[in-house]
């Protein structure tokens, strides 16, 4: 058993251990030395050398094949210690996982703000995973500290920025395969992504909770100091305009996000709530979402596609349309041969829809969409609508709608079979529209 943070810092540099840490609260007070390592699973340059990853960190986990039993252990990374690092983009992270095949079980990892806002600097990510086959099991993460915080991307998210921008995400997985988060809870109280991927083959997220924070825009107008007041309550990013009233904005970035070259992503038995885009997975290989629930998305719930480069399967998923669209199949390649099954849920009591509330937009070719009705009270007619086709079209596909939602088939919907309880407006070509009766509980269990 190890009993100090110095012992732990030494242990994470070694291989092949089973380490038990004494339960207690441990606060980091210093940093590990900076280092430069090759980017793993990357293509070599013309000189035959791999690209290099320059790192600054509080903890560098360089050992492999370790099991760390952290049950009852709290490890704090204060903003005062994060401020000792340079803050350079793609360099400074609180933890770098450079070793392979490590298991971290039961740890409680949290940021502490021990300096006045906004006089500190935070790392880009709390964790960056840089090697294969690492597992986080039944861990809790509390992420906070970004500057600014409270405005979504009103004042920038990477350039141009209006005032200082210092984002802080939970976890980046960079050129590292087969990372697993099992039974973990992440509480995002920072402007940054929850989990984001960069050229990875294999991620499994199972039995997890990722939760963020929303803010009514009407609340922003109560500020007497802060970034919004400095800009006379205007949004500055992508054009100056007044902050709208009666909207709900996410204070984080995305929940589960891909950035390119990602495949074999699986999310199982997991809830994602109150994050910007809860799932934005535009991948080059298979994506599986099974028994996933999205609640109170800040911008949209699901944007999942692999084009013709992989199979997308969303099975027995759920989501509400509290403030934002459920589907946003608008950004990536047109899905092909994909399967999407979602049960529509009622929002929480007292939730008022916004001008953005709807079932959103779907597109695809040779795809299957199934919508089940899991509502406990009727949704307002003006928001209970689905745009089929969008700007990319919906062709040779099947849509089965067991809800009372209105389906709008635009002029880009062709050769589709649409079965619907709710009304259908067909503005497309060569579509077959069939009216069906509401499904019973027995029908749903049989997968009718």
- pLDDT tens digits, 265-322: 999 999 999 999 999 999 999 999 999 999 999 999 999 999 999 999 999 999 999 9
pLDDT at 447: 57
Q: Is the pLDDT of residue 432 over 70?
A: yes
Residues 6+ away with beta carbon under 8 Å from 34: 54, 55, 56, 57
- pLDDT tens digits, 229-263: 999 999 999 999 999 999 999 999 999 999 999 99
How do 413-414 and 424-426 pair as beta strands?
Answer: unpaired
pLDDT at 404: 98
Q: Is the pLDDT of residue 47 over 60?
A: yes
Pair 130, 61: CB distance under 8 Å: no
Model confidence band, residue 440 (pLDDT cutoffs 50, 70, 90) = confident
The token duo for 45 is 């340059």
Please give the C-alpha separations between residue 287 and each of 262, 264, 313, in angstroms, as whole numbers.
9, 6, 6
Residue tagged 């984002």 (tokens): 167
Pair 286, 264: CB distance under 8 Å: yes
pLDDT at 444: 64
Q: How far apart are CA 59 and CA 30, in angstroms?
A: 9
Query: Domain-by-domain residue ranges, the chain?
Result: 1-274, 276-448
The token duo for 126 is 């709390």
The token duo for 444 is 């749903």
Residue 299: DSSP 8-state: S
Please give the C-alpha separations between residue 12 and each of 63, 90, 102, 221, in angstroms, as whole numbers.
5, 22, 10, 47
Pair 9, 32: CB distance under 8 Å: yes
Average pLDDT of 424-447?
88
The token duo for 158 is 């990477």
Residue 406: DSSP 8-state: E
- Mean pLDDT score of the chain, rounded to an integer? 97
Q: Is the pLDDT of residue 446 over 70?
A: no
Query: What class does CATH assign to 1-274?
Result: mainly beta
* Residue 239 exposed, middle or buried by CB count within 10 Å (0-12, 13-18, 19+): exposed
Where is pLDDT greater, at 158 or 211?
Answer: 211
Nearest residue to 299 (alpha-carbon basis) of 350, 349, 345, 354: 354
Q: How far apart are CA 191 and CA 102, in angstroms?
A: 28
pTM of the entire structure? 0.97
Q: How far apart are CA 281 and CA 82, in angstroms?
A: 30
CA 29 and chain centroid, separation = 30
Q: Is the pLDDT of residue 389 over 60?
A: yes
pLDDT at 159: 87
The token duo for 176 is 């590292």
DSSP string, 173-235: EES---EEEES-EEEEESSS-SEEEES-EEEEEES-EEE--EEEHHHHTT-SSSHHHHTTTEE
Average pLDDT of 393-411?
99
DSSP string, 46-94: TTSPPPEEEEEEEEEE---S-EEE-TTEEEEEEHHHHTTS---TTTEEE
Pair 402, 377: CB distance under 8 Å: no
Find the Cα–Cα–Cα–Cα dihedral 296, 299, 300, 301, rounded to 10°: -40
């Amino acid at each position: 058993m190890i009993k100090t943070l110095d012992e732990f810092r030494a242990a994470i540099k070694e291989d092949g251990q089973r380490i038990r840490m004494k339960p207690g609260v441990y606060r980091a007070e210093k940093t590990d030395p900076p280092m430069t390592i090759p980017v793993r699973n990357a293509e070599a340059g013309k000189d035959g050398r791999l690209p290099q990853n320059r790192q600054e960190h509080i903890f560098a986990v360089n050992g492999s094949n370790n099991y760390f039993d952290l049950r009852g252990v709290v490890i704090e990374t204060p903003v005062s210690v994060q401020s000792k690092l340079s803050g350079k983009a793609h360099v400074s992270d609180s933890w770098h996982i450079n070793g392979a095949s490590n298991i971290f079980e039961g740890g409680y990892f949290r940021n502490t703000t021990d300096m006045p806002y906004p006089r500190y600097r935070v790392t880009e990510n709390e964790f960056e995973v840089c090697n294969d086959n690492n597992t986080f099991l039944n861990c809790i993460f509390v992420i906070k500290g970004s500057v600014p915080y409270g405005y979504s991307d009103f004042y920038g998210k990477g350039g141009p920025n209006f005032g200082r921008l210092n984002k802080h995400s939970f976890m980046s997985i960079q050129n590292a395969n087969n990372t697993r988060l099992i039974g973990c809870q992440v509480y995002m109280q920072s402007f940054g992504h929850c989990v984001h991927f960069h050229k990875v083959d294999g991620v499994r997220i199972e039995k997890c909770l990722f939760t963020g924070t929303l803010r009514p825009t009407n609340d922003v107008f109560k500020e007497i100091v802060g970034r919004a007041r400095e800009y006379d309550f205007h949004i500055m990013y992508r054009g100056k305009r007044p902050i709208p009233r009666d909207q709900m904005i996410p204070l984080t970035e995305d929940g589960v996000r891909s950035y390119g070259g990602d495949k074999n992503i699986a999310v199982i038995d997991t809830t994602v709530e109150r994050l910007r885009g809860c799932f934005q997975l535009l991948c080059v290989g298979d994506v599986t979402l099974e028994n996933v629930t999205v609640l109170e998305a800040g911008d949209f719930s699901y944007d999942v596609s692999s084009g013709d480069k992989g199979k997308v399967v969303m099975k027995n998923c759920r989501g509400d349309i509290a403030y934002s669209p459920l589907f946003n199949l608008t950004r990536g390649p047109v899905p092909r041969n994909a399967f999407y099954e979602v049960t529509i849920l009622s929002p929480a009591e007292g939730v008022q829809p916004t001008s953005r509330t709807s079932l959103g937009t779907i597109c695809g070719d040779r795809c299957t969409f199934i919508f089940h009705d899991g509502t406990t009270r009727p949704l307002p007619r003006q928001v209970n609508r689905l745009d089929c086709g969008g700007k990319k079209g919906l062709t040779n596909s099947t849509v089965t709608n067991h809800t009372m939602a209105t389906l709008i088939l635009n002029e880009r919907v062709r050769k589709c079979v649409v079965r619907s309880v709710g009304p259908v407006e067909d503005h497309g070509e060569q579509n077959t529209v069939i009216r069906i009766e509401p499904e019973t509980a027995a029908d749903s269990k049989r997968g009718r």
